[in-house]
Each structure stands twice: as structure tokens, then as C-alpha cells.
Amino acid sequence: MAEQPPYLRIAADLRRRINAGELRPGDRVPSTRALVREWGVAMATAARALATLREEGWVRAVSGSGTVVADRTPRKPPLGRDNLVRAAVRLADAEGIAALSMRRLAAELGVGPMALYRHVPGKEELLRLMADAALGEAELPEPGPADWRPRLELAARAQWRAYRRHPWLAPILLNSLVRPPVLAAGLRLVDWSLRALAGTGLRRRVKLQVVMTLNGWVGGLAASNAFEVQAEQDTGISAEQRLAADMALLAEYLGSGRFPVLVEVMSGVEDVGLDEAFEFGLVRQLDGIAVLLERHQSV
């Protein structure tokens, strides 16, 4: 094995001394001249060794003090409302909304619970901010399609992606369809969607109903997934495992002769997943809006 160049051997020795605690954060490391004397190398070699350690973050140059050991202790980001909300979203994504409490979030952030209340007044406001952040990830291009159908399709797909990334989101937004939480991201989505219906001649109330119906359908389908995900996070039992446990009862019901049409339709049909149901339903929703517009224009 080839011998390391002198500058790498010097850098390795200094790393060893730092790791061993011989050189602590803020301590001056040997200067280039001291390294020249100690190692019997050229000034350029000693300078290159220190430059290597600076690039790796082991040391830093301080004006008037030379080169000192850097503090490599990971620094917590400043708490702040944005960091708090991002941490809450990560926790809810990983463990479900039931796992989220102010105390648990404070522990995740390494602060006392009361520190959180300097940024949010309570859990209800935290949930609103989380929903705003999660829905704000929806990609709505500007200016976007001018035709109503591709525009509403994009809006529906953007919501579906947000719901799939954040299963806890749908129940929060659908707590009340007619009085949803006030979110900047939600207002942006509705405004962007309503522009699809400009020039259609529909009454303003009908335009709102079209967008509310489409958004409510997407969210309702997503809520089904939310409950499944939460149940799995709470119990550790997947939907597939629950279904397997229910198969004996299902077979008993289907074999009773009470549901002949269902048995016939289900014969040979694989399970319908949520994404497949979304794709099917989205086309039907848009087809229904098309019929509404055709009838309106024929009047």
C-alpha cells in the first residue's frame, strides 16, 4: 500500500488530537511554521494540511488568532414558527396526527413545552399552520391551462398528491366542507380553480359549488386513506392484515346466498386500490362538469 502524502499524514495526526480531546474547540492548532519544524516539511505542505482540515470543517481561521479548532457540535436550528411547523409535519407524517402533542413536539425539538407557545398559541393553531404548509406544496403552474378541464384536473391531482404525502391532512381540511379552516394555500387553490370557469357563463354560486364538489370528493377519498393509515400507526396492523383476519367472516357472508350480485361482480376482480379509484372517479367528476356546462350553454 502506497504511503500517504506528508500533508495527509499531518492532517490525520491533527484529527486524532482533536478527537482525543488534546485540542478542543477554540484551541489554536499548530501554525504552518510549527508544523514545518515538527514534521520537517516544506511550508507549502504544512499549509496544505491546514487547508484540508478547513475544507473538512475541523478547523477555522480566526483573524488575529490564526487557525483554531472548529466547534463541530451540531447546532439546533433556531426554533421559530416555520421550523416548529416543519417538525410537526414530519412527526405527523411519520407517526400520525394522534402522536402529535405540544409536549411530544417540544421533546423532538429539544426544548421545553412552554417554548412552543411563544410561536403558536395552541394545538388548534398548530394544526392550521401544518395544513397550510402541507397544502401549500400543491404545484399550481402559472398561468396554467386556459381550458377548464385540464385546469380542474391539475387542481385535483395537486390535492391528491398532497393528501397522499400527508395522510393526516384530509380530516383537518374536511372538518367542515362549507366552513373549512382559513388557509392561504386553500384560498390560492380555490382561486386558481375558479379561474377555470371564467367565461363559462355559470352563475357565481354554481362556480363555487363546482369547485367545492370536486375538492370535497378528492378530500373524501383521501380521508378513507387517512383513517387506514392512522389505524395502522395506532395498532401496527396493516389494512391487508385486517382484511386477512376478516376473510372467514366475509366468506361466510358471501357464501350465504344473500348477496348474489355482489358475488358475481366480485368474481375474478382484484382489489380496487385508492389510486385506481381516484383515477376512475376523477374522469367521472370532470365528465359530470362537462354535462353541466353543455346544458348551460344550450339554454
Reported as a single tens digit per residue, the pLDDT across 167-178 is: 999 888 887 555
What's the average model confidence in pLDDT over 117-145?
A: 91
- Give pLDDT tens digits for 99-122: 788 888 888 888 888 989 999 999
| pLDDT at res. 178 | 56
User: 156-209, pLDDT tens digit by residue?
Assistant: 999 999 999 999 998 888 875 556 788 999 999 999 999 999 988 899 999 999
Given this model, what pLDDT does residue 226 score? Answer: 75
Sign for the pseudo-dihedral over CA of 214, 217, 223, 228 = negative
> Which of 19, 41, 21 lies closest to 32 in space, CA to CA?
41
pLDDT of residue 270: 73
**Rounded distance, CA 22 to CA 58, Å?**
14
Cis peptide preceding 181, ω within 30 of 0: no
pLDDT confidence of 3, banded at 50, 70, 90? confident
pLDDT > 70 in the chain, percent: 90
Residues 184 and 187: their CA atoms lie apart, in Å, by 5
pLDDT the model gives residue 194: 95
Q: Is the pTM of this model over 0.95?
A: no
Reported confidence tier of residue 63, pLDDT bands at 50, 70, 90: low
**36-45, 59-68, 224-233: least confidently modelled range:** 224-233
Taking residues 45-63, what's their average pLDDT? 85
| pLDDT score recorded for residue 235 | 64
- Kindly give the residue spans of alpha helices, DSSP state H, lying in 120-167: 123-135, 148-165
Q: For 61, what's the count of Cα atoms within 13 Å in the CB-facing half-sphere?
A: 9
Domains with residue ranges and CATH for the chain: 6-69 (1.10.10.10), 81-136 (1.10.10.60), 142-236+269-298 (1.10.357.10)
Q: In the prediction, which pLDDT does 146 show?
A: 86
* Cα 171 from Cα 98, distance rounded (Å): 12
Confidence band of 273 (pLDDT split at 50, 70, 90): confident
**Residue at 68: amino acid letter:** V
Range of 123-127, 243-247, 252-256 with top mean pLDDT: 123-127
The pLDDT assigned to 233 comes to: 62
Of the candidates 60, 77, 76, the residue with the CA atom closest to the CA atom of residue 68:
60
Residue 82: its pLDDT value, please? Answer: 92
